[in-house]
Structure formats: structure tokens, C-alpha cells
Structure 1
Amino acid sequence: MSSGETAFIAALRGLASHPAARGLADDCAVLEVGGETLVLTHDMMVEGVHWLAGQDPADVAWKLLATNLSDLAAKGAEPIGVLLGYTLAQDNTRFAQGLGEALAHFGVPLLGGDTVRSPAAQTVGLTALGRATYRPVPNRSGAQAGDSVWITGPVGAAMLGFEALSAGDTAADTSAYRRPMPRLAEGRALAPLVTAMMDVSDGLLLDAARMAQASAVTIALDPAAIPLPASLPPHRAREAMAWGDDYELLFTLPLRAAPPCPAHQIGAVLPAGQSTLLVGGAPPEGPLGYEHY
């Protein structure tokens, strides 16, 4: 049965007929304007869903920017500006401070946006605009049988950070959850080489399955090769693969090609089979990642 999110996106595909929309099956829209290729993305976050109630709004602002820039990274794009959609809170000072820190860190200008008030949970959104540094712009749908599968870094650190933050553990490193780092430089370096690329936001297993489905192939992952935080108990590896919020880049390369940046080979692309995803040679059981039901 499709989730509410999946069913709604399927309904929208009939409206998104412009080639720039890429059939709503990719991380970003890719729009040709004159001699430039623009890459556009929009992400939203909701209090109690994407951040903890009472969490420092400065961290919320950083994460909002970082998650959008991660989508641009998956296209090998260079950020050129952002637009903010913001639901006003009682005190908005810390959010503005955190947004300023993030904009300065990533060298991205704020170009405008909109503010509203609402009696419901606070919702924030951001549209990021980028310039393609390589054409054709990478997508999710180019993986081919015989390719190797790679990821730029470990999965599970955000999960551990969330748990420590929820428990009030001030000694633990929670930065992976609070202030993720989009792989912008890695995305630009990889763009000329990859056959497919996307960021890992909803869980490695779910995002790998999405890439396989878009590419009409099967992706086979080797669980022993998937990088995990050193502090993660081994019995939680499967959980970490489905938790999400990692914002690493998942990509495929032609056989014998090597990535130009640090990365881990975690599997292979096979011809399409009965399952779009194999983990340790078998279709995975249980939830693959986070979906909005």
C-alpha cells in the first residue's frame, strides 16, 4: 500500500509536465535558462517531526539550509541563493542568528521569502537555487547493471545524535543531527563521473530502493561494507541503515571507475529482478526508511 506522501506525489506527476520537473522523480528541478542550467529545490521542516520541541532554533535554521544544499550537492550544483518561508514564533532571534551563521559558513546569500503566523506547529521551508557545474546534471535514474555503488560517509550518526539530544545527554556529539554538513564539494567533483547520484535523507535502504526503481535496476548492498559510526552497537546496524538524516551522497560509478573524493564502495548494480533492493543477497524485511504517512 502506498504511503500518503507517495500517493500524493503520484497525483502531482500529471501536473508536472515541464521537462525541468524531471517527472518529480529526482531531488531537484533542472531548468535551462539561456546558456545556464539552474538547479532548484525546496524542503520543509515541521516542529516535532524534523526537530525536537524546545530545540535551539539556531540549529533548526542551520539544518533547514543544510538539507536543501544537500539536494544541490546531489546534482553537483553550486548554490547561488535561497528563499525562506517562515512561520513566526514568540521569539525569532535565535533562528535568525543560526540562519546567518549557516549562510556565512556555506557562502550563500538570502534573496527573500515570506513570513506567516499560525496556531499550529511551527513550519519552516526553504527554496535553494543553484547553478549546474556539469552537464548533463546527474539524476537518480542513470544507474546501469555492472556499476558499483558508493556512499561518501557513514550512516547512523544522526540517529545517535537525536537519541542523545532527546535524552539530554550534553556530553555526546549531536552535531550530525543538529547541524549536518552537505557534501557540496564532493558532489561537484563526482558530477562528471557518476551514472546516478542522490543524497541520503530518508534512510540508505529507502533511498537506494528509490534509485533502483528510477533506474529500472536492482541494487545489491553489502551490509558489511556500509560505514557506520564507531560508537554504534553492531546489533543496531540495520536500524541505522533505515533511520535517515545522514545527508551523505549515494552514487553509482561505471565498473573500475574510482571516485575523486573519499567514499566507500557498498554494493553493485544488477539487472532488474523481482526486488529493487537486495541486502546481503536477500530483499530486506521491515521499513526501509522514513516516509510521511
Structure 2
Amino acid sequence: MVKRLGEFERIARYFAPLVKGQSEALGLADDAAIVTPPAGMRMAVTADALVAGVHFLESDPPDRIARKALRVNISDLAAMGAEPYGYTVTLALPSGMADPEGWLERFVTGQRSDHITFGLKLLGGDTVSTPGPLTISVTAFGWLPEDRALLRSGARPGDDIYVSGTIGDSGLGLAVLRGRISGLDDDAEQFLIDRYQVPEPRPMLGRALLRVASSALDISDGLAQDLGHIAKCSSVAAEVSLFAIPVSQAAAAVMRSGQAKAADLVSSGDDYELLFTAPKEGREEVMLRAEEASVPVTRIGTVRAGSGVDLLDADGKPLILERRGYTHA
């Protein structure tokens, strides 16, 4: 029988080693962390909860679950132009979990990996038991200049619309894991799975865009739906060419096989790419900043006066989507 550790034993064994050498978390021995902001900076705060069977599969590797939980929050910070700093994590572990200690060991391995990748600090958290599904809640903190932040409300008529990376890969990766897409070569299949399980947030790009982008957010619920948030918050309309939207080679292969359409890619969630607007006169600077951040960006549309989002087909006619994105209902 697997020995289950108590809460404080788990903190000492798994999480205390993650804060060794940094003073803010106080060894995870006190009620809160103490953080001193850098001069001239203010704090951005975000939180996301991930639930097994909703945001990840129960069969996903624990280290990848940890990295996804951190990265979706880093993506929110990136969308504001904030530099990631630290986070707290709350784990609600099912009381009937077969090997919680083995799961936690692998989960912490994923945390440690992304501490190195993104310069993150664990600042605290909590562990509890639940009769329900495994649930992870992360609150992340980042630094912003006192005079600058990327918001959803800054788009203006005439601005260009851009997106980073490629769109729709994560949704296809989930479909692969659920057996709904088949016939891909091993590399394409693994690429799509990786995009679902371990998203790639764009914090360097977000910071690089602080002085050129007029609005931004990260794509979590689908490009079509999330672009609608910018349009609503900015009191403008958005017009996007469906066939200007960048897709990966793996996604293109899925579409060639007839197992997905371009419209499917813009309505699937979990891309965690940056969707942003910028004045037309800033085109050269946008590309320069993207190159500095080593992140590809693509201009996909235009902001205009009005309201709503139009996705245009190859003939320039608006498409009507059955589903624009994911919603939590």
C-alpha cells in the first residue's frame, strides 16, 4: 500500500526544495510571502484554475500538467506586457488518488523545469483533499512599468490585427489524444499533442510590444471569440481574413485529410498565442520587435468602426461559424 503523506510532510518534501535560496517565500514556513517591488514597476496579477477532464486529461503526465498550469498564467501576464515573476499554487488532490506521492514527485519536476525556463519563483500555496476531480489553481504575478500596460481596450479604427505563432494546434492535439484524428505521421501527431499539453506563452513578445501595440490578449477560448473581446472592450469592429491566419504544417496535414476545416481552428481554445492590434504606421516596428523576441507574427486583419467580428472567406464574404470558441457555462 502506498504511504500517503500529510500536508506539512508534502510541503517539506516536494515544495520547500523549490524555494531554496530565495528569501521571498520564507521557506514556505510562514502565512504569506513578502515581496518588494522593483523601483519604477507595478504588479500584474492573474489567476487560472485547471480541472481534470476540462482543461487537461487525467492521463496527461503530471509534469506536463504542472507546466500547463504555470504557462496559461504566464500567457496572461504576457498579454499585458508583464515580466513573469512568481506564483502561488493550490492543489486539490482526489482522496481516491492511487499514488499521490508519485504524482506529486512528477508534478514538482515540471514546476522546477519552468522555474528555469521563465525565471519563476514559487511564493506559496495550499494542498487540500477533494472527493471531486483533480483541480489546480495558480495565481501568478509579474512586473509592469508604471507608465505602460497592454490592455484589451486600446484598439482603434485603422489598426492592423496580428497573431503570434500558429492557430488551432492545441485543439487538434486534444482531438488526437481523444482518438478523433488519425493517420498523421508520428512527428505531426506529437507536435499537436505537445501544443495541447505544454503551451508556449510569449512573455518576451508581450514586453517587446509594450510601446507599439494598441491592444492585446492571449488566445485561450478561440481566436474568433477572443478577438470579440478586444472589439467589445475597444468599441470597434474587427475584420479578419480566415486564410491569412497562420497554421502549422501539422494542422495543414489534418485539413488536407478532411478531418478539420480552417473554421475549426479559429474556434478551438488553448492556443495561448498573443492576439494584438497596432497602428498601420507601426508595421515595421512590430516586425522588428517580433524578431527581437524570436516569435513569428502574422498580420491577419484590420480594425474598423462598428462592432463585432467578421471572418472573411477567400471571396471576401463573412462566414457564419457554428461555434466561435469555448465558454465556461
TM-score bracket for the superposition, by shorter chain length: 0.7 to 0.9
Q: Which has the higher helix share?
A: 2
> Which amino acid in structure 2 is aligned with residue 244 of structure 1?
G
Partner residue in 2 for 1:271: 305
Amino acid at match of 1:239: D
**Which of residues 197, 211, 216 is equivalent to 1:178?**
197
Asked whether the 8 Å contact 1:227–1:264 carries over to 2, the reply is yes
- Aligned twin of 2:20: none
Give deviations 1:118-140, integer Å, cap 9, x for gaps.
Answer: 00011101000000047321100
The 1:134/1:148 distance shift into structure 2, 3 A limit, reads: farther
Change (3 A) 1:255 1:160: same
In the comparison of the two structures, how many residue pairs are matched?
260
Matches within 5 A, 1:108-257: 108-133=120-145, 135-167=147-179, 171=186, 172-173=189-190, 174-232=193-251, 233=255, 236-257=261-282
Give 3-state SS (helix, strand or coil) of 1:256's partner. helix
- Give me the whole-angstrom Cα distance separating, in 2, the residues matched to 1:191 and 1:288: 28
Q: Is the 8 A contact 1:74 1:187 kept in 2?
A: yes
SS of 2:300's equivalent?
A: strand
Structure 1: gaps of 5 or more residues? 1-31
1:8-50: CA deviation from partner (whole Å, max 9, x where unpaired): xxxxxxxxxxxxxxxxxxxxxxxx9984311000000000000
2:60 paired with 1:55: yes
The alpha-carbon deviation at position 211 of structure 1 amounts to 0.7
Q: CA deviation at 1:105?
A: 1.8
Q: Which amino acid aligns with 2:204?
A: A
- Output the CA distance in 1 between the equivalents of 2:86 and 2:164: 25
Amino acid corresponding to residue 290 of structure 1 in structure 2: Y
| Aligned-pair identity (%) | 35
- Structure 2 residue ranges without an equivalent (≥5): 1-36, 291-295
User: What is the deviation of 1:231?
Assistant: 2.6
- On the 8 A contact 2:263/2:321 being kept in 1, the answer is no
In the alignment, which of 41, 64, 70 is matched to residue 65 of structure 1? 70
Aligned counterparts of 1:101 and 1:191: Cα–Cα separation in 2? 27
Aligned to 1:84, the other structure's residue is in SS state: strand
RMSD of aligned alpha carbons: 2.0
Hey, what's the Cα distance between the residues in 2 that align with 1:88 and 1:53?
Answer: 12
Query: Aligned-pair distance for 1:283?
Result: 5.9
2:280 aligns to what SS in structure 1?
coil
1:191-242: CA deviations, max 9, x gaps?
1111101101110000001110110000001111001122321551101100
For residues 114 and 200 of structure 1, what CA distance do their matches in structure 2 show?
A: 28
Alpha-carbon distance in 2 for matches of 1:161, 1:191: 31
Deviation at 1:282, TM superposition (A): 2.3
Matched, 1:80 2:103: no
Counterparts of 2:143 and 2:207 in 1: how far apart (Å)? 11
CA displacement 1:166-209 (0-9 Å, x = unmatched)? 33989322111111110011111111111101101110000001
Higher Cα radius of gyration: 2
Match of 1:11 in 2: none
| CA 214–207 in structure 1, closer or farther in 2 if over 3 Å, else same | same
Taking the aligned partners of 2:268 and 2:141, their CA distance within structure 1 comes to 27
C-alpha separation in 2, matches of 1:247 and 1:134: 25
